[in-house]
């Protein structure tokens, strides 16, 4: 969430920057500043009424103490009007604050200067490409056919139990899935990330804190009776570990990694491009999350990108990195890099990771601050990345490592799997 004082100070620059997202913030900014002015005026008037009420209360006490009961009762009558005014001003203040917050919830993050202008994913900017695309033998198949051939993933059985988009992993498929999770966690902890296990459901405050709520796209699964939400990513519970906290500068950076299943409704997703593991309602992901000082966050973002690169190099999968354009940038992000692996059997790129810097956008919602060395309180910067999302990594391994004799296992995963081929 943007800070209203920054909107006031940088209104024109913010309007221009948000045009990269094809988002016109002019009227929302005007309304935000109007309600902020109303909030300030109500607060000033309320403070004056409360001060006068306190003054009269002291005067009444002194008059009673000195035996001047008639005067005390006369002054006491004045306080009734003050109490009524106080209640009215409190209601006005609450109304202005609520309207201001609702407007701020509608405004996306300001894109970083590096974000290219653009409408959708076609305008994303490729900034890195590495790895040789393997030449597959004739008759090579996409992963959903390989899954059926080797009986390692059952999409129909998942459909029977729950519905489309909830696969069942079997035998070596389940072991490969578990191997990937362990490998990703080991890589992350070796890089200094502290592993946490977090709940898979969150409350409303957590959803608002990291920007998943209000859920404009209807992508969250909700447990309506308890007003809880199934997490779309481990970023939500991990970042919310520090909601409302005032940290000390010496505690930063805070670095965490965690494995969770993730749940997304993926409303409106149809067609061949979402077949098999390409898009699921439930999938596994290992996440990295960081809380940083403002001056360090962009150097750290580059480090996170290099960390994911290292994992993909060890898996020996061809990949590229895209800098997302304004039209494809997530609501809460200031700058995002997407990683994609090439699926040779499908002849297309598959997104397998996003690494993002949210600057203070989430921290302002979370009221997540730190006390700097000079004693001032600063909003932290939050960052997160997938390291990695499993479904499309698994799809890339199955398709790119297939041979006429079976599916080879990437060398780095063999110690985790306990086998080197699926046949």
pLDDT of residue 242: 98
pLDDT of residue 64: 85
pLDDT of residue 209: 97
pLDDT, tens digit, 9 for 90 and up, residues 5-47: 999 999 999 999 999 999 999 999 999 999 999 999 999 999 9
Question: From the annotation, which residues make up the binding site for L-serine?
Answer: 233, 264, 287, 384
80: pLDDT confidence band, cut at 50, 70 and 90? confident
Model confidence at 153: pLDDT above 70: yes
The DSSP bridge partners found for residue 289 are 256, 384
pLDDT of residue 187: 98
Model confidence at 399: pLDDT above 90: yes
Q: Which domains does the chain have, with CATH numbers?
A: 4-105 (1.10.287.40), 121-422 (3.30.930.10)
pLDDT of residue 380: 98
CA–CA dist 423, 418 (Å, integer) = 14
Question: From the annotation, which residues make up the binding site?
Answer: 233, 264-266, 287, 351-354, 384
CA angle, 209 as apex, 204 and 215 as ends, to 5°? 60
- Residues of the chain with pLDDT > 70, as a percent, come to 98
Q: Is 101 exposed, middle or buried (0-12, 13-18, 19+ CB in 10 A)?
A: middle
- Residues of the chain with pLDDT > 90, as a percent, come to 87
Are 323 and 127 a contacting pair, CB within 8 Å? yes
Per-residue pLDDT, averaged over 130-147, amounts to: 93
> Among residues 401, 378, 317, 383, which one has the least CA distance to residue 352?
317
pLDDT, tens digit, 9 for 90 and up, residues 217-272: 889 999 999 999 999 999 999 999 999 999 999 999 999 999 999 999 986 555 55
Model confidence at 298: pLDDT above 90: yes
**First-to-last C-alpha distance (Å) of the chain:** 51
Rounded to 5, what percent of the chain is helix, strand, coil?
Answer: 50, 20, 30
Question: From the annotation, which residues make up the binding site for ATP?
Answer: 264-266, 351-354
Output the pTM of the full model. 0.93
The DSSP bridge partners found for residue 288 are 257, 385
Average pLDDT, the chain: 95
CA angle, 235 as apex, 267 and 298 as ends, to 5°? 115
66: pLDDT confidence band, cut at 50, 70 and 90? confident
């Amino acid at each position: 969430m943007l800070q209203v004082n920054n909107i006031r100070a940088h209104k024109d620059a913010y309007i221009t920057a948000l045009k990269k997202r094809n988002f016109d913030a002019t009227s929302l900014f005007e309304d935000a500043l109007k309600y902020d002015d109303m909030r300030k005026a109500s607060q000033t008037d309320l403070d004056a009424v409360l001060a006068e009420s306190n003054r009269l209360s002291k005067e009444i006490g002194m008059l009673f103490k000195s035996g001047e009961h008639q005067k005390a009762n006369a002054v006491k009558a004045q306080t009734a009007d003050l109490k009524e005014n106080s209640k009215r001003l409190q209601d006005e203040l609450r109304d202005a604050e609520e309207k201001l917050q609702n407007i701020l919830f509608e405004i996306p993050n300001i894109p970083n200067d590096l974000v290219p202008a653009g409408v959708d994913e076609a305008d994303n900017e490729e900034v890195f490409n590495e790895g040789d695309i393997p030449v597959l033998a004739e008759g090579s198949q996409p992963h959903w056919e390989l899954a059926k051939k080797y009986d390692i993933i059952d999409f129909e059985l998942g459909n029977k139990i729950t519905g489309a988009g909830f696969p069942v992993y079997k035998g070596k498929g389940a072991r490969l899935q578990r191997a990937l999770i362990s490998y990703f966690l080991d890589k992350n902890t070796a890089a200094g990330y502290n592993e946490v296990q977090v709940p898979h459901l969150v409350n409303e405050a957590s959803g608002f804190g990291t920007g998943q709520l209000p859920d404009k796209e209807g992508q969250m699964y909700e447990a309506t009776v308890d007003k809880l939400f199934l997490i779309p990513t481990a970023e939500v519970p991990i970042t919310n570990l520090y909601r409302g906290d005032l940290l000390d500068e010496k505690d930063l950076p805070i670095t965490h990694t965690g494995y969770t299943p993730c749940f997304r409704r993926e409303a409106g997703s149809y067609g061949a491009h979402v077949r098999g593991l390409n898009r699921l309602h439930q999938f596994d992901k290992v996440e990295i999350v960081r809380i940083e000082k403002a001056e360090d966050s962009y150097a750290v973002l580059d480090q996170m990108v290099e960390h994911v690169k290292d994992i993909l190099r060890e898996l020996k999968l061809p990949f590229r990195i895209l800098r997302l354009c304004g039209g494809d940038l997530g609501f809460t992000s200031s700058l995002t890099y997407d990683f994609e692996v090439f699926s040779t059997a499908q002849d297309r790129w598959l997104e397998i990771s996003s690494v993002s810097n949210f600057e203070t956008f989430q921290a302002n919602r979370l009221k997540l601050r730190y006390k700097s060395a000079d004693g001032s309180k600063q909003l932290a910067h939050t960052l997160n990345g997938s390291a990695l999302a499993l479904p499309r990594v698994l799809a890339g391994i199955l398709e790119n490592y297939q041979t006429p004799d079976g599916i080879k296992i990437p060398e780095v995963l063999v110690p985790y799997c306990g086998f080197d081929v699926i046949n």
